[in-house]
Amino acid sequence: MTTAPSTYRVPLPETLVELLGKRVVDLPAAELDRGLLREEASGAYDRVRAESPEAQIVVRRCRDLLNDPEGDGFAVIEVGPLLDRYGLDEGQQIATLLLSWLGRPLRAFDKWPLWKPLGTNLTIDPMRATGSGYNPLHIDVVNATEPPDYSALLCVRPDPRGEGYSIVSQLRRAVDRLSDGERAFLAEPVFRDGAFYDLTGVGKEYDPFPVLDGLLAPEGFVRFTAKMLPDMDPREPHTSAVRALERELIAEQQKFLLGFGDLIIVNQHLCVHGREALGRGQDEVPEEQRRLLWQMFLRTAGADAR
């Protein structure tokens, strides 16, 4: 099995695991206000970080991995010990607390809880997040004026067939390798992808949108999703520019399997993510044993000032 390189992995010290288990029972629940974690909860969670030197080291390491413009824009926190020791329900609460140290938890999708389950559904388009096929490189909520700053995925159950590799690639370096003409086409607001409804905390619908908004990270986004390509005219120069960017992203992509308790966090200003196809014979695997991830988003405005 190929796991995320150690360079990007962030283990949790045993003393921090113990502290989080003791403190979580007395902390406020992760209630939301307009899709975001309430400020009272955020403050209480951050006081736990402030009292723990180990927590502060973990946070600094994650921020270095996520925010370095010369880096790759993702990190993998090893929360398996939390899930093993405290179970999935309490472990999910503690994972929420951990993520709140990096940004303000955001639900985004009104119909789902704060942690959105991403199971494996064999009856839908395999390209979708809960499908079983190749989920191409993209940023989440690409057609919003304010996409989530971070996207987080916690692996609760890996694919029992041993496939479904996660893929990530650094956006800004890929854009730099394009020609001036390709970048000019990508800066035009002519691109469309997906529907936009029942969303909170991500601004307004952006339709059509530019792939390149002209802003650098951490303000700007490269609004890339290869999911829009099947609906684009292959004869159009804008399509060729999108395909050129996809080729550059694939050329430098990294792939690895998420194991139980691996929590990958992606800075959407710097990095795209996706998934290779799950293993064959998914129809022979009971639904409750198929791959399952939990997804959450983060809004980072003001996070570094806390």
Tens digit of each residue's pLDDT (9 = 90 or more) over 20-61: 999 999 999 999 999 999 999 999 999 999 999 999 999 999
Average pLDDT, the chain: 96
Q: Mean pLDDT, to the nearest integer, of 101-125? A: 97
Residue 199 lies in a domain: yes
Q: What pLDDT score was predicted for residue 187?
A: 98
Rounded distance between C-alpha atoms, residue 182 and residue 185, angstroms? 5
Question: Is the pLDDT assigned to residue 159 strictly greater than 70?
Answer: yes
Q: What pLDDT score was predicted for residue 305?
A: 34
The total number of structural domains that make up the chain:
1
Domain that holds residue 159: 6-305
Q: Mean pLDDT, to the nearest integer, of 123-135? A: 94
Which band of pLDDT confidence, cut at 50, 70 and 90, is reported for residue 274?
A: very high
Question: Is the pLDDT assigned to residue 264 strictly greater than 50?
Answer: yes
Residue 74 lies in a domain: yes
Rounded distance between C-alpha atoms, residue 23 and residue 32, angstroms? 20
Question: Is the pLDDT assigned to residue 302 strictly greater than 60?
Answer: no
Q: What pLDDT score was predicted for residue 209?
A: 98
* Contact predicate 252/169, CB 8 Å: yes
Helix 14-24 vs helix 80-100: crossing angle, to nearest 10: 70
CATH of the domain at 281: 3.60.130.10
* DSSP string of 192-257, one letter each residue: --S---SB-SS-SB-SSB-SB-S--TTT--B--BGGGGGGS-TTSHHHHHHHHHHHHHHHT-EEEP
Local structure of residue 29 (DSSP, 8 states):
P
Residue 275 lies in a domain: yes
Tens digit of each residue's pLDDT (9 = 90 or more) over 116-128: 999 999 999 999 9
Place of tokens 């998934």: 275
At position 26, the amino acid (one-letter code) is D
Question: Is the pLDDT assigned to residue 197 strictly greater than 80?
Answer: yes
Rounded distance between C-alpha atoms, residue 156 and residue 291, angstroms? 8
Q: Which phi and psi angles does 223 have, rounded to 5°?
A: -80, 75
Give the 3-state secondary structure of residue 8: helix
Residue 252 lies in a domain: yes
Residue 134 lies in a domain: yes
- For 20, the token pair is 């989080």
Q: What pLDDT score was predicted for residue 1?
A: 52
Residue 18 lies in a domain: yes
pTM, entire model: 0.96
Question: Is the pLDDT assigned to residue 2 strictly greater than 90?
Answer: no
Tens digit of each residue's pLDDT (9 = 90 or more) over 251-261: 999 999 999 99
Residue 1 lies in a domain: no
Residue 244 lies in a domain: yes
